Chain A
């Protein structure tokens, strides 16, 4: 009688814990589809659960004032303040503004460079999401002489 009760108890616990760990694993690896497909950068922020980004000199955005070729615009951001979780790049006027999400592990600096496509002259924003919940921002306008989204 006791054995059956125990079997039933374990029967309930095991599938639940397996299901839960599966869900957790999926969450950690889920691609931020909604954020990347958002049509405005504010919608992308909402999809990421980010609110109230504030301009900050702690986050340094390096990019040119003018991009000859909108298909290949170098952008870089760095933040020396400890506690950065992610750095994000947006091109405000792109059809889908979110460009990239960089995760900052304890083994790397919050310092990334890449190249983005810009469809037209637009502000480019870098955001640093901090462990304490703050969202730091730095933005610059980049003039584009030849748009780069293939349109």
Chain B
């Protein structure tokens, strides 16, 4: 089970800025471990986010996104008390969803 995402969603001047720090190895498939064996690629492939249950954001990522990925996007509208939920799915089929309240 992966560590929780750290999500901040702040509403100001009619928009909500969402910052996410995810916990994931994001292996490129190019690295060799201490024994010299190539570590297989393993990375977050799809990210979606919703505001109050409605999907507002989606992205596709390759192996080049850094380990423990950082993401920032800006929702039009949104206000304190709204719910922002972020979900990632990786190449092993694992997924994780975390939710936060806008402040």
Chain A residues proximal to chain B, CB less than 8 Å: 31-32, 36, 71-74, 76, 91, 94-96, 98-103, 105-109, 111-117, 148-151
A110 to chain B, nearest CB (A): 9
CB-CB under 8 A for A115 and B15, given A32-B60, A100-B60 = no
CB pair B64–A107 under 8 Å, yes or no, is no
Chain B residues proximal to chain A, CB less than 8 Å: 15, 28, 30-32, 45-46, 51, 54-67, 69-77
CB pair B56–A117 under 8 Å, yes or no, is no
B76 cross-chain contacts in A, Cβ below 8 A: 106-109
CB pair B66–A101 under 8 Å, yes or no, is no
SS of B interface (majority): strand
Cα separation A71 to B3 with both chains bound (whole Å): 21
CB pair B74–A111 under 8 Å, yes or no, is yes
B62 cross-chain contacts in A, Cβ below 8 A: 36, 96, 98-100
